[in-house]
Amino acid sequence: MFELSQDHEEFRALVRDFAQAEVAPHVAQWSKDKYFPTDLVPKMGELGLFGLVVPEEYGGSATAEDGPDFTALCVAIEELGRVDQSIGITLSAGVGLGINPILTYGNDEQKATFLPDLVAGRALAGFGLTEPEAGSDAGATKTKAVRDAGEWVINGAKAFITNSGTAITSVVTATARTGTNDDGSPQISAIMIPSGTPGFIVEPAYDKLGWWISDTHGLTFEDCRVPEENLLGREGDGFKQFLKTLDDGRIAISALAVGMTQRMLEECTEYAKTRMAFGKPIGVNQGVSFQIADLAVMLEASRQLTYRAAWLKDEQERGRRSVAEVKKAASIAKLYSTESAVTAGRIATQIFGGNGFMEEYPVARFYRDSKILEVGEGTSEVQRMLIARSFGL
């Protein structure tokens, strides 16, 4: 059985206190208003949440001796997600899709330019991968970037991009076709596009099923010009870069799902003890109590899979585990945890009965928020495909 260290448990308590004080009192109204709390992000930065995998030289807490603490990041995402899934994904995407590509593939100048503000929570960054006609099939990217007079000229569109249109969004890293490989496949590269660049158009926010607080926009590029030096990593490496980015992000989404299931277990347990029917608490009925027992089993399994995958990720960074091990563990954790979270939302809504359909109870918000967990960072079908491939199938 995998267990977190004492340091991680103490960090969990710290983040939980923060979430209860800074998020819980406001989240119902934020959700109702579909309001993104920009002023919360610097507070998260002050707590060090954006810097857990970032070296000290850029304002993070990762030391040369200990390296990045991806496990601690998952703890933070879980605890924020336990209070609200939108706030949890803001951190998850802010680090996994915003900071990590720059940290992993950026040169010294790019890191020094963007990372300090991102780590401090003074800014957010997005990752433009998905397109209107390229989701799971990311190789079908149609956005193009061509060189002209020392600049990249970018044309195309992206869809469903998190943290891309806030008042503090500083940059979006976008994948684009920059040529053709020898085998005829498109050469995909990643290019950093600062906010406010002419031709970089942030479309109106989506009207979503869930994640009402989270910032999500489509992006359009119309002859958008950035310096050639904004290429992230090597030309043509964009495909490999985003595959690696998604591997890490799947573990983070799994942690978000754990926070969801944890909250549903807590809400259902309390409701089953206090809701009276036929003169007794509904929890004395096996039809209710057995469903709560199922929630507990799903939670325990999800948590074990998630934090084992996070531990493997940390061990990989120290050269003690392989990329293949992490990839497989990430897909297994993401698949099980997210499907369990959707089931947990459905069970909770059923236990709450008519009240579960009412916005005054948090289970309604969580149930809405749950479905996207099975889609983002690779659908359940993609995870099953990757798991099968790990066995040579």
The full set of domain ranges for the chain reads: 6-122, 127-236, 239-390
Active site residue 133: no
Burial 319-353 (b: 16+ CB within 10 A, else e): eebeeebbbbbbbbbbbbbbbbbbbbbbbbbebbe
Q: Residue 3: its pLDDT value, please? A: 84
Tell me the CATH architecture of domain 127-236: Beta Barrel (2.40)
**With respect to CATH, is domain 6-122 assigned 1.10.540.10?**
yes
Q: Residue 124: its pLDDT value, please? A: 98
CA-closest candidate to residue 365, choices 77, 81, 163, 92: 81
Catalytic residue from among 46, 317, 377, 381: 377
Q: Residue 11: its pLDDT value, please? A: 98
Specify the CATH superfamily of domain 239-390: Butyryl-CoA Dehydrogenase, subunit A, domain 3 (1.20.140.10)
pTM over 0.85: yes
CA-closest candidate to residue 226, choices 168, 165, 178: 178
Q: What is the pLDDT along the chain (393 residues), one digit of tens a residue?
A: 578 999 999 999 999 999 999 999 999 999 999 999 999 999 999 999 999 999 999 999 999 888 999 999 999 999 999 999 999 999 999 999 999 999 999 999 999 999 999 999 999 999 999 999 887 787 789 999 999 999 999 999 999 999 999 999 999 999 999 999 988 889 999 999 999 999 999 999 999 999 999 999 999 999 999 999 999 999 999 988 988 888 899 999 999 999 999 999 999 999 999 999 999 999 999 999 999 999 999 999 999 999 999 999 999 999 999 999 999 999 999 999 999 999 999 999 999 999 999 999 999 999 999 999 999 999 999 999 999 999 999
